[in-house]
Amino acid sequence: MGYETVALLDIDGKIWAVARGEACGDYPADPYDSDILAVKFDPNGKTEEQILEELCEEIAMSDYFTNSLIYGMRNGTVRVNIYGKFGSMMKEILKPRIKEFIAQKPEYDTGYILVTTLTPICRRSLRWKPEFVDFLASGIEKVLREF
Could you tell me the residue ranges of all domains in the chain? 2-100+131-146
- The whole-number mean pLDDT for each consecutive block of 10 residues of the chain, a chain of 147 residues, reads 93 96 78 94 95 94 92 96 96 98 96 86 96 98 97
User: pTM of the predicted model, to two decimals?
Assistant: 0.90
C-alpha 16/C-alpha 68 separation (Å) is 12
Burial environment of residue 135 by CB neighbours within 10 A (0 to 12, 13 to 18, 19 or more): middle
